[in-house]
Amino acid sequence: SPFGRSLVVMRHEQEYEALIAAAKRYAADPSIGVAFVHLNVPHMPYLDKPGIGHLLHSGPNDDLYVDELRWVDNAVAEILSALDQSGLDSRTAVILSSDHPARLVSKLTPYVPFIVHLPGYNAGLPSYREFSALRSADLVLAVAKGEVRSPLDVENFMIK
């Protein structure tokens, strides 16, 4: 907006902050073994905040979506920090997702974040295999039941 930050961006940022606050509470709650967090980033409207923000450049619009992944990184860092500080890192699984890429500009970037932190694992297993996010609810139940225990189990479960 030529008059400052738009109301839509401010509302989107407030929703993001509320999601992170709730996710941090869930991560630090000993009665919760699996926390499923659905993020409202990194798609439009793009957020801008000192320390996170996005780069302002003249590249393709897809670049803004990729820059916006910093908000996802920030969310992961805050949630895992709360989990670590609570001492529940070895007991709590956290699944983070986002619902879609930027619909209007993501011809080059059709991916969305889907991050699974399992108790006892500090290293990641990146996967670029296609899967349906509709399996997320089943994944939460499988993790809670102890049927999915490792990053490889997650990948195999999601691509079934």
**Which two three-digit tokens encode residue 65?**
């979506």
Cα separation of 29 and 27, whole Å? 6
pLDDT of amino acid 9: 77
pLDDT cut 70: percent of the chain above it: 73
Closest CA to 79 of 90, 95, 91: 95
How many Cβ atoms sit within 10 Å of the Cβ of residue 111? 13
pLDDT category of residue 58 using cuts at 50, 70 and 90: very low
State the pTM of this model.
0.79
The mean of the pLDDT values for the chain is 80
Rounded to the nearest angstrom, the gap between the alpha carbon of residue 36 and the centroid of all alpha carbons in its chain is 10
The pLDDT value recorded for residue 107 is 58
- State the pLDDT at residue 55: 44
The percentage of residues in the chain with a pLDDT greater than 90, rounded to a whole number, is 31
Q: How confident is the model at residue 112 (pLDDT cuts 50, 70, 90)?
A: confident
Report d(CA 108, CA 100) in Å as an integer: 13
Q: How confident is the model at residue 122 (pLDDT cuts 50, 70, 90)?
A: confident
pLDDT range class, residue 22, cuts 50, 70, 90: very high
